[in-house]
Every structure is written in C-alpha cells, then in structure tokens.
Amino acid sequence: MTDDITPTRTALVTGASAGIGASFARHLAAEGFGLLLVARRAERLTALADELGQAHGVPVHVYAADLSDPAAPADVMAFAETHDLTIDVLINNAGMAASTSFSDATWPALAGELQLMVIAVTELTHRVIPGMKARRWGRIVNLSSLAAFSPPGSGLLYTGIKSYVLNMSQALDMELKPDGIHVTALCPGFTHSEFHDAMGTRDAADRLPSILWQQPDAVVREGWAAVNKGKPICVPGRVNKILSNAFRPVPYGAQYVLGRTFNPFA
C-alpha cells in the first residue's frame, strides 16, 4: 500500500472488499486513479490495496467502516481530509439485501438497512459535491438495481430503496451536470459475487438461468463508460435492458426527460 503521493484525482469506493466494489477499484486503479477503499473487512481491503498499489503504482488508502453506523460517513470524510485526499469519483456500492420480512425483522436491522443504502449513500454524495463543484469535475456512481424497475417484493424494502437511489441519482444529475459533475444510477441484475453467500440466498440464486447472470467486471465497464458519457441511468447487459423496459410502461429515458422538463417544484 502506498500513500506518499496524491494523484490528480482520487476515487472513493464503498463496499470495496469484494464483488462490484472490488472490480471498480481494480478498473479505476488501472486508469491511474488513486483510491480510498471503504468496507467492513480491513484485511480484505489491505490485501486489495497492496495488490493495486504494486500492479498500477497508484496510492491506495483503506478505511475499515460499517456504513450502517450513522457516524461512518462523516468518519470516512474526516479520514480523507486528514490524508489530504480530494474525492473526485464516488462509487456508492456498499449494500445488502434483507431476507427477513418487514414485520418479522427487528427495528435495528431495518434501520441498519436504511442507513447503509439510503442515508449513507445520500450523505456521502452530499459531502463530496462541494469539492467537485469547486474543481468543476466529478463522477458519482450510485449502485441501484434492476429491482428498481420491478414490482415490489412482499415484505421487503429492497425495491423501494433501490428505486430511491435511481430517482435520487437522476435528480442530482439534472442539478449538477452544469458544474461538470455526472451522476449515474448503475442498475445491475444478477451478478456473480459473494453477495448471495452473505445474504444466505446462494441456493436460490444458483437455480436461475445462466443467461440472467453477469460478471462484476462487465457491470463495471458499462457503468464507468455510462457515467463518463453523462448517462444518468445504466442498465448493464442486453437481457437486463429488455427486462427493465418490460417492467415499466414509460421507458426510463423518457421518464428522465419528463422529470427534467416538467418539474412542478422548480
């Protein structure tokens, strides 16, 4: 792990220890970005930081944090400030999917789910924007999901949470594009990672047809290309694009245009 030279641009990646987050870290390091990697598992982050620093010669910082803790987003940004890191790219990737129905779950579990995937995503975004605006350049990728386009699942908050991330990202992209900041909601479908193992849904996931699955690297390539092109929504993979449009009567591209043009609160 290196930390003696700060490059022109630094990317903050949450949930960076595995899956899509680790793939984003590798992709951005290969493009020359310095990194601030955040996840709960410090040993995983350190190993990834050593790998990327040696492979690409970029500075990589790690900060072990549980973003379901309300204090964590501020602590992450305080760490960045202490180490003179200016966050030019934010990848809000950390997430989970509860398998317990709403009425059977404890409130602390539900609150942690909301804190991780709603509050922390929103707070980190809010905290990095002033610096991006000052530098007139920024890229923000918020991990939504194909589930944001689908009917809600009985007793689960996941589709509602991911719908929030989808809509919030579009609203911010409308606001911030004039400042050189692009915001994209990345909406993958089923992706090969440790996510299903951690959530206890591996058996059910393995029964799904292979055509529905993507590799994390493919998701990252499409998502990173989309945010650089200024696309507010990215649904990676041909099958996922078909499904997302089938779920909604009004195409998501048209929804974005309508939302930007006919804002009753403007």
Task: Considering the candidates 63, 158, 252, 256, report the single residue annotated as catalytic.
Answer: 158
- Report the relative pairing of strands 181-186 and 138-143 from DSSP bridges: parallel
Task: Name every residue whose Cβ is closer than 8 Å to that of residue 86 and which is 6 or more positions away in sequence.
Answer: 6, 9, 10, 80, 131, 135
**Separation of alpha carbons 214 and 237, rounded Å:** 7
158 is catalytic: yes
How many CA atoms are closer than 13 Å to the CA of 229, on its beta-carbon side?
Answer: 10
Contacts of 45 (CB under 8 A, 6+ apart): 16, 17, 37, 38, 39, 62, 63, 64
Give the residue numbers annotated as catalytic, written as ranges. Answer: 158
